[in-house]
Structure 1
């Protein structure tokens, strides 16, 4: 296997590797180390069944089952999140900058996204480095943020936004988690900024209105171009990202074409 860094901020392509079979111990250790070094790993030209996809991810930890019915799990594979944008759809799943499911009390390790069908152009995904976002804050700002925790929540939809019909069965519950604004990564020991515009609603002990100016600034700061890389997809591309130290954004620029991805998430 070979590692080729993508850009200065984060990301690497892993070449000459087959993810369809269990990784030998030395290869597994190298991939795991690369994940925490580069934060986003891209593997090209893979051919994975659903079970092979899950088995690759399971080598890094137990698999997470997404709590939302809107996530469209595949029959018989509740760990696989089917992310689809049909030709006539105007919205994409996860359409704002975010880290996955930060409303959970215990953050997930990362996600493995496999491209099944991609448009002829467009549909890329941006990733942002939250270590870099932390390090670029002024010392005075970091000192102020050290004592803050943030509340991460997700609202419970009453209707399916795609059909307008009530969700049946209504098995969703609102989730809320509290996390420090500045977090120490458990694997690397590095500090990172841990807020995002999708799930972070306010700071603990402050109202939403009081929190908004600083929260908006931090979210904009965290996703500036200098901290990002861009993944271009093709059928068979696999991307594995460290969810605790990155944010990501799907680019919705392929109207009239279909895109289908399968995502498996690894718990800590």
Structure 2
């Protein structure tokens, strides 16, 4: 028996991602991807059962109404007591990404801060890599960045990372910003018929999906053998807040399961565009000593590659996550 969600998706009903509208002679405003959506988007930063309370132990400056905030008055190199940790976790869940400036911390202190939130995750895909620890990313004229695409990190694993702590070691005077988008707000603002059609859908994620341009074929084959493609829900439920969030991204999501390939790709492109709306985003300009701490279950990010031939050096620690559901 065909699953109910596939009955909806594969029916003759025309949904917003279908490309048949242009051939049917619809006016431009009614064609998929071109309709004008007038009026404000109805956005919410926290879940319906969460209370919007102030923070007592630190200052907090929002970067947008729904996502991203700078935290002041916290030294990440010093021990954090239980009350401060609880408030930081609440801010992390409510704002999805927290930024700390002027943090003159060591690699060991960065790792210790990451361990407060869970076990660390191995990030390297290289054979014989050491255990969980810090990954360093050096971007210069000889090693240009490939991160300038919206994505959640490492979703091609059965248990994608829960969070990341990224520290800037060296960067350009101008450029190299990072953008973050709220995947929960993006889901909330989908038309009701689209949210209904997404129920139960799953997508295949592959760590090697977009590596072909810069990784040799034998290396792709090795990574694919070590980390075979996995299936995740198109809409995942955040395990702590309960909010539904879009969980497909342009770097690692390969296809929609059980859907004709062309129509599945049209759906993915429609959802990718939805995630790119500025109303769901914040933008962070890095300065010396900056640290970003983001919820990989709730956001996607885009590292802007606009600073070459200048260089940028960062170190990142991953906190292990669970199976998306």
Please report the TM-score for the alignment, with normalisation by the length of structure 1: 0.90
Aligned to 1:86: 140
Matched, 1:229 2:286: no
Segments of structure 1 that go 5 or more residues without pairing to the other structure are none
Give the greater-gyration-radius structure (CA). 2
Q: Is the 8 A contact 1:159 1:166 kept in 2?
A: no
Segments of structure 2 that go 5 or more residues without pairing to the other structure are 1-57
Aligned to 2:8: none
Structure 2 counterpart SS, 1:175: coil
Please report the TM-score for the alignment, with normalisation by the length of structure 2: 0.75
Q: How many residues align?
A: 261
Q: Is the 8 A contact 2:171 2:311 kept in 1?
A: yes
Q: Is the 8 A contact 2:157 2:227 kept in 1?
A: no
Tell me how far apart the structure 2 counterparts of residues 119 and 6 of structure 1 sit (CA, whole Å).
Answer: 21
1:129 equivalent among 162, 166, 182: 182
Shift of 1:136: 0.5
Matched, 1:259 2:312: yes
Tell me how far apart the structure 2 counterparts of residues 239 and 215 of structure 1 sit (CA, whole Å).
Answer: 28
Shift of 1:154: 1.8
User: Which moved further from structure 2: 205-214 or 100-109?
Assistant: 205-214
Matched, 1:204 2:204: no
Shift of 1:260: 0.2
Structure 1 counterpart SS, 2:133: strand
Q: Is the 8 A contact 1:201 1:208 kept in 2?
A: no
Structure 1 counterpart SS, 2:165: strand
Shift of 1:107: 2.5
Q: Is the 8 A contact 1:156 1:174 kept in 2?
A: no
Runs of at least 4 residues off by over 2 Å:
156-162, 164-167, 170-175, 206-210
Aligned to 2:32: none
1:38-117 aligned within 5 A:
38-69=95-126, 78-89=132-143, 91-117=144-170
Q: Is the 8 A contact 2:167 2:316 kept in 1?
A: yes
